[in-house]
Amino acid sequence: RAEGRGVLRPLGVFAASAAAPVLIAFLLLRAAMPAGRAVEGVVGAWPFILGGDAAALTFYLRMFGGVDPAASLEQMLIWTGWWAAFLAPLFLLALILRRPGRRRTAITLACLIPPIVVSEVEVRWFEAARPLPIVMLASLAICFSALLRQARTGRIEPRRILQLTMFVFATVLLGKILLNVNFYLYGFALAMPAALLLAVSLLGWIPAFIERKGGHGPLFRIAALAMLMVAATAHLGREKFTINRKRFAVAGGANLIYADGRGPVVQAALGEIARRTPPGATLAVFPEGVMLNFLARRRNPTPYTNFMPPELAVYGEERILASLRAAPPDFAVIAHKDTSEYGARFFGRDYGRRLYAWIRKNYRHEALSGAPPLRDERFGIQLLRRREGVR
């Protein structure tokens, strides 16, 4: 309700707080690079998203659900229907059951049957998060209307502002995967705030509302918790499957990691790098594999650590090639990588042809671990040594 100068102070504090981390980031970057590059570092990927080709890559369209938006929207609505079919009857039943007693206890326990039954049926739980945008938008509307009601009375609860802020934050984060929300790939981070708010709503806010209306909140809470546990168990089962595939040790000591069937090939390649390259030698891995630089302790002399379709779309192949000509690495590695998810399968054949041609012209074969890379589905890593007179 503040007016005049009363508005300026909080707005000024807000603007200064928002600008401070941006300004600090710019000053720190400016200490190590020209001002123009520092500005690029601060604005991040926004210029490439708004004006570049990276956002049009098949991979990002698939993550967003934009390859077939109609089908993605249909799946979102279908899963919303399933959610409503489970939660709406629970909500109404919890409102109806007002009198305590054995009957209410028996009905509450009976509500555990659907989650138990579902746990034994094959359900595509990895699609179950699709309705989260609808849930967050509906929650936003409810929270905002409650805030407006409090504003009219002149008594706004700070927790309402915090709730609204969290719902806005969670909804905005879903934007990158809006039509294909999930808890894997980017979803492990982007959908996490929305998932937490969903759990708080199902286990806290909705049961509390039911109890304020005289109903039996524990019924809804117990059934919702059971279904959340079923969904979480399905995701943990997939994680177990992934971890169990990683049976091969790579490197050792503090650097020890476990890998899938590609592990022995990587370990052999690390051995070849250690035997054939001096400690101070430089190394670049194409199109992907900067972990080899770290494990082998060999520096990449260029600013680029990946040479896959997104990097080529963002920085431009000519710019990357110029950096290689200016500081050619002593050794190069061609590591097998099928990048079909980006709409181009192999480096040097379907994309990055000029880079690949430059490598083949200026480097010669040194060692091979596994199968020849970038030919078929077999995995392999090739080590190359720089020729004299690179250009």
Give the mean pLDDT of 127-154: 92
- Does residue 322 have a pLDDT over 80? yes
- Does residue 169 have a pLDDT over 60? yes
Instruction: Render pLDDT for 36-49 as a digit per residue (tens, 0 to 9).
Output: 989 989 998 788 77
Mean pLDDT for all residues in the chain: 92
- Does residue 122 have a pLDDT over 80? no
- Cα–Cα distance for residue pair 242/386, rounded to 1 Å: 38
- The token pair at 93 is 């039943």
- Cα–Cα distance for residue pair 327/390, rounded to 1 Å: 10
Entry pTM: 0.81
- Does residue 192 have a pLDDT over 90? yes
- The token pair at 213 is 């209306």
**CB-based contacts of 99, cutoff 8 Å, min separation 6:** none
Instruction: Render pLDDT for 342-368 as a digit per residue (tens, 0 to 9).
Output: 999 999 999 999 999 999 999 999 999
- Does residue 78 have a pLDDT over 90? yes
Q: Is pLDDT larger for residue 265 or for residue 152?
A: 265
Radius of gyration of the chain (CA): 27
Secondary structure (DSSP) of 175-219 = GGGTTS--SSTTHHHHTHHHHHHHHHIIIIIHHHHHHHTTS-HHH
Rounded to 5°, the CA angle 198-141-11 comes to 105
- Cα–Cα distance for residue pair 274/295, rounded to 1 Å: 10
